Structure 1
Amino acid sequence: MNLADGPDLTGDEREALLRDYLLLDPENELASPAMYPRLWNVSAGMMFTKIIRAEVPEAPEYVAVPMNDHDAHLSASVAEWNMLWEAAQFRRRIPRDLPDQLYRVADRGDINVVFVPRTTSRYHEYAPLFHLLPRATLERFGLPLLRAGQWPFLSHPARIDDFLPSDFEARLAKAWAATVWRHLMPVSPISGFSANDPIRVLAHNLDFWLPPVTEVVQEVLRELPEVDNGVTPIIPVLEDGSPLCGAVTANPRVGGDVWAGEQEAAELVTWTVEQADADGRLRGILDAIRSHRVQDDFSPRWTKAREDFERKLHRKRAKIQVRFVELTDTIPVHGPETQIVDQLAVSDFLTLLNERDREIVVLLRSGVTKLTEVAEIMGYSNHSAVSKRLARIREQAVRFFDER
């Protein structure tokens, strides 16, 4: 659809027409929770009486190509290519006259590619994620109320970027993270974690979520019935007479909504998370992160996750005990980072003690292990003063080794 070339239209009229085509009036019933958000599909039966269907389709990849409304051949070729999404990696085997931009990709081999227009915002790549977001979330993050999305991409008016914020991708990442967060950390809000927290980074990574949401879209479409064109499933034959193994001819499926309304979209978000963990990868990532939390993962806000972390941390710290024992057969090492594995590391610690406390530690380290002997050497009448000093030294040692 080329809205820019309408006859007898002023620039403002064309702009208004394009805006109305792209953006949804908040008062429109299509913006109601029962209908929004929405993603829909156009049946390949609009153009084909039969299709090729891959028996084991490979996961699709998005390839952005420069497009405009004036290249009718390119636009029609992209629409035809994408409409045959069920052919997956075998689409290039279907004879057609491809424009150079598409031929260079198709000529690379049997790969499953979805073509989308190249834009600054990357809206078309991320459309399945964007159109899972409810209206309230869009408004919260300053995103426009776009009309229903389409998968796979077939056609578009030009200049979609003109109607999106310049930081669209960043805003979408925040909006998606807010939507998916409860599935990743059910008991703690996202605000309780720092910007560098690994799970928070993962929630914002749109490229991580694009493959699972694309697979979910396709799984929904595969449940739609076929058009009754009377096509008998057989192995297709290539131009050279050889069979195309791994594929069958079939009736095209009907088109329709992939989802419509907040309830269905929420179910598809859950399904997307489950798909991201289809092989246990997401669950493994989350478990590994939770098991190796550090203080910097949390923001100043208190959360259940931080409470659990602090409890485990203090339990671990409570196990620290400081004892002074004789170190035999060790070579004195004097330096700012002295460490003696499996024995007492004291060289750095000594610099924190006053002269009398340091003398006690040196005596204990030199083999004088009885407090009465230490007291006698230091000129005390009994060991009481030595015991008090040792208690204070232990407290300092706990703090010292706890901070390392």
Structure 2
Amino acid sequence: MTTSIVMTGETMTDDFHQPDDPLNPLLNPTDERAEPGMYPRMRNLSAAFAYRGVVRALDPAPPEYVTVPLSVGMAGDPRPAVAVAQWNLLWESAQFRRRYFGEEDLPAPLYKVADSGDLNVVFVPRTRSRYYEYAPLFHLLPRAALARHGLPLLGSGIWPFSVQLGDIDAYLPANFQARLSRAWAGTVWRHLMPQYQSPISGFTANDPIRILAHNLDFWIPPVTAVTQNVLRDFPEVANGITPEPVRLQDGSLLEGAVAANPRTGGDIWQGEEEAAEVVRQTVEAADADGRLRGILDAVRSHRCEDDFSSRWTGAREDFERKLYNKRSKIKVRFVELTDTIPVHGPETEVVGQMLCGDFLALLNERDRTVVVLLNSGITKLTEVASLMGYRNHSAVSKRLDKIRQQAARFFN
């Protein structure tokens, strides 16, 4: 690629307020950064920290998260952590970022992924809690939601992942995923069920919309898409890179990409108001193809009693009102259809004028019609013949003889 797309080796300063103890991710509840105007918060580090220019994908592929084992803090081999940070900083390059690295630049597990082709991969540390995979969702939760579901007050998140200073699992409950799932579902619920006074507690755990709200993996792609959309509006760093095609080492051009200045970093969202807007946009991104709204409308329009818990909700009231209003308008009338075949079980017997269902099953359609008509009170063969479309009763007489013979064999 062009020689301008190189690592700078320079350090940059920013206005990010780091915790007093960088190894402790917890935020003091009395800290001003825990106030609703500043919390929750998600930020981004500019690729300009390490690169003078970037290869910008014109049609970026959707990112996928891949977990890798990384050492914590200063323990162990730091090279995998450095390689992951350098890789993730190039989020604008998307599926083309592998072209920055040779086999000697990446640890074997990372190079194996890079060598798989042009894939838009975001590397995150492999942890018990899966915090780094779900960080974009966690850092959209207001402080009250964290307290309600027993989740810790963590400092600001960074997307994409850059560095793991401490063992995050040491600060998270053992059932972190379950707690986060409930907290996220409660946060996104009003966008999925906008009906008046219909909180999530008014629906059973088997309700389809409630299941969808709790599915963290479903929400990661849309929240990542929204995050990147926000970042694409950030201004470029003035590094003097003129947008131009990217030339590879063999002289060919890299299709679908241009050389460009890196974008600045900064807050992707900060405070409850901005986070709430990102949640709304996440729901819209999840419905980019229109299927989510179709599913939601179908579920809301075809509710059943089992969807609701014992708690009253506006949705349940609407359901019951529609149900009973429809029932009150329906008049049920039972009529006896004498020209139809009754349904009997395997043990059916002949009682009086009742025909055995097992015997009728032996007859073909025309013979069964003769039996039904005679059993319905039509006694004249000419009438039977007329109803069946015969010119005279001869054909009916022949069928009756055949039926009598079959009946004799069947009931003897």
- 1:68–1:158: 8 Å Cα contact kept in structure 2? no
Question: Structure 1 residues 277-286 or 46-55, which shifts more?
Answer: 277-286
- 1:334 is displaced (CA, Å) by 2.1
Name the count of aligned residue pairs.
325
Q: CA-to-partner distance for each residue in 1:49-87, whole Å, 9 max, x for gaps?
A: 000000010110111111113221101110000000000
Q: Which residue of 2 aligns with 1:85?
A: 91
Give distance in 1, aligned partners of 2:226 and 2:337: 64
Letter in 1 for 2:171: F
Q: Which residue of 1 aligns with 2:180?
A: 172
The answer to whether structure 1 residue 272 and structure 2 residue 282 are counterparts is yes
Give distance in 1, aligned partners of 2:86 and 2:221: 22
Q: Which residue of 2 aligns with 1:303?
A: 313
Give distance in 1, aligned partners of 2:257 and 2:145: 41
Q: Which residue of 2 aligns with 1:101?
A: 109
Q: Which residue of 2 aligns with 1:374?
A: none
- 2:24–2:166: 8 Å Cα contact kept in structure 1? no
The answer to whether structure 1 residue 25 and structure 2 residue 28 are counterparts is yes
Q: Percent identity?
A: 66
Q: Which residue of 2 aligns with 1:261?
A: 271
- Tell me the C-alpha RMSD between the 2 structures: 2.0
Q: CA-to-partner distance for each residue in 1:162-200, whole Å, 9 max, x for gaps?
A: 110000001001101111111111221111111110111
Q: Which residue of 1 aligns with 2:41?
A: 38
Q: Is the partner of 1:244 in helix, strand or coil?
A: strand
- 1:366 is displaced (CA, Å) by 6.9
- 1:326–1:366: 8 Å Cα contact kept in structure 2? no
* Unpaired segments ≥5 residues, structure 1: 1-15, 339-346, 348-364, 368-404
- 1:298–1:306: 8 Å Cα contact kept in structure 2? yes
Give distance in 2, aligned partners of 1:335 and 1:155: 72
Q: Which residue of 1 aligns with 2:12?
A: none
TM-score (norm 2): 0.75
Letter in 2 for 1:111: L
- 2:339–2:376: 8 Å Cα contact kept in structure 1? no
Q: After superposition, where does 1:139-288 map in structure 2 within 5 Å? A: 139-186=147-194, 187=196, 188-288=198-298
Q: Is the partner of 1:208 in helix, strand or coil?
A: helix
Letter in 2 for 1:173: S
- 1:308 is displaced (CA, Å) by 1.3
Q: Which residue of 1 aligns with 2:360?
A: none
335 and 309 in structure 1: CA distance in 2 versus 1, 3 angstrom threshold: farther
- 1:38 is displaced (CA, Å) by 0.4
Corresponding residue to 1:76 among 71, 82, 107: 82
TM-score (norm 1): 0.77
Give distance in 2, aligned partners of 1:159 and 1:335: 68
- 1:285 is displaced (CA, Å) by 1.2
Q: After superposition, where does 1:354-365 map in structure 2 within 5 Å? A: none
- 1:320 is displaced (CA, Å) by 4.3
Q: Is the partner of 1:21 in helix, strand or coil?
A: coil
Q: Is the partner of 1:91 in helix, strand or coil?
A: helix
Q: Is the partner of 2:244 in helix, strand or coil?
A: coil
Give distance in 1, aligned partners of 2:249 and 2:200: 56
Q: Which residue of 2 aligns with 1:51?
A: 54
Q: CA-to-partner distance for each residue in 1:249-306, whole Å, 9 max, x for gaps?
A: 0000010010111111111111111111222122111011112211111011111111
Give distance in 1, aligned partners of 2:232 and 2:181: 28
- 1:319 is displaced (CA, Å) by 4.5
Q: Which residue of 1 aligns with 2:122?
A: 114
Give distance in 2, aligned partners of 1:144 and 1:326: 69
Give distance in 1, aligned partners of 2:190 and 2:340: 54
Give distance in 2, aligned partners of 1:267 and 1:287: 22
Give distance in 2, aligned partners of 1:169 and 1:255: 29
Give distance in 1, aligned partners of 2:305 and 2:146: 32
Letter in 1 for 2:335: V
